[in-house]
């Protein structure tokens, strides 16, 4: 059975329509790929910025942790120095202490104060006790003045105060550096969580891009196939029209092309130059 020119024109229009439809779908898919890739690029820029920020927080945290260690070391050294100086001052005080027998004035005073509070004394005995307590207090005051005027004591007292101040300053730094390090650690952890979330989102986008790109490639192939079909039909139309009477060729029976050739074309075969020559000569033998 032969296929007429009218039928070929109809099939050409249908192939053109399919080509346009596949091209439109391909363009939509390509547009979606570009949109997804732009989104992925924006996510990558955000991920890189957050990664850099997280790295900065990590480096600052590590620097502060090192500062904490150094401050703790300084605090320990200050405390040790203060303890050593305190012991030296105690030794000097013991050397300066005035004793009555083997009892220090401070101990005697405390004993008399306790006796005054707990004993029932006559007026005269109480007056003597108070007078004795006052003498001891004067002796203690005099002893303390001599102690403070001792150059070695004065220097040790100054060194002890400086050691206490240094230890206190290091202790303050330990607390401040530790708080700052913890804050940087928390910020770093929060940013790395964001980085992980962005990375997962990018992976999902990449999978979607591949999926859409595959669909786009399929639509493109279908578009190309339809375009090739249009071109092959045009070849067949060209050959068929050359067989019409009065068109510069010999008269032939009807204005048709062979169904077999079209069937081969529909199955994926190509219309060759030999096929066209055969059609122009009157159809394949």
223: closest CA among 36, 37, 30, 33? Answer: 30
pTM of this prediction exceeds 0.85: no
- List Cβ neighbours of 169 (8 Å cut-off, separation of 6 or more): none
Please provide the DSSP assignment of 213-234 as one string. HHHHHHHHHHHHHHHHHHHHHH
Is 150 within 8 Å of 96 (Cβ atoms)?
Answer: yes
Quick one: pLDDT at residue 153?
80
Give me the tens of pLDDT residue by residue for the chain, a chain 285 residues long.
Answer: 456 788 889 999 999 999 999 999 999 999 999 999 999 999 999 999 999 999 999 999 999 999 999 999 999 999 999 999 999 888 887 776 655 555 676 777 788 888 888 888 788 888 888 888 888 888 777 767 776 777 888 888 899 999 999 999 999 999 999 999 999 999 999 999 999 999 999 999 999 999 999 999 999 999 999 999 999 989 888 887 776 554 444 434 334 444 555 555 555 555 555 555 555 454 443
H-type alpha helices, the chain: 5-96, 105-118, 123-149, 151-242, 259-266, 273-280
């Amino acid at each position: 059975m032969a296929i007429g020119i009218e039928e070929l024109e109809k099939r050409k229009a249908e192939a053109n329509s399919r080509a346009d439809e596949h091209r439109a779908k391909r363009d939509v898919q390509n547009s979606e790929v570009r949109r997804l890739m732009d989104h992925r690029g924006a996510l990558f820029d955000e991920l890189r910025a957050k990664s850099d920020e997280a790295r900065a927080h990590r480096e600052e945290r590590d620097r502060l942790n090192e500062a904490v260690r150094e401050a703790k070391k300084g605090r320990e050294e200050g405390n040790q120095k203060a303890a050593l100086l305190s012991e030296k001052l105690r030794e000097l005080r013991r050397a300066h202490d005035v004793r009555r027998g083997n009892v220090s004035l401070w101990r005697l005073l405390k004993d008399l104060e306790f006796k005054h509070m707990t004993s029932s004394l006559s007026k005269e005995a109480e007056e003597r006790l108070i007078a004795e307590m006052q003498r001891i207090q004067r002796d203690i005051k005099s002893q303390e003045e001599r102690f403070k005027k001792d150059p070695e004591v004065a220097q040790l007292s100054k060194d002890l105060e400086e050691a206490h101040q240094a230890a206190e300053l290091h202790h303050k730094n330990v607390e401040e550096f530790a708080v700052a390090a913890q804050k940087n650690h928390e910020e770093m952890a929060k940013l790395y969580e964001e980085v992980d979330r962005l990375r997962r989102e990018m992976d999902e986008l990449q999978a979607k891009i591949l999926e859409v790109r595959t669909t786009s490639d399929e639509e493109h192939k279908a578009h190309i196939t339809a375009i090739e079909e249009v071109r092959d039909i045009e070849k067949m139309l060209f050959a068929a029209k050359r067989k019409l009477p009065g068109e510069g060729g010999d008269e032939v029976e009807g204005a048709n092309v062979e169904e077999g050739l079209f069937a081969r074309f529909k199955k994926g075969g190509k219309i060759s130059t030999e096929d066209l020559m055969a059609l122009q000569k009157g159809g394949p033998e």
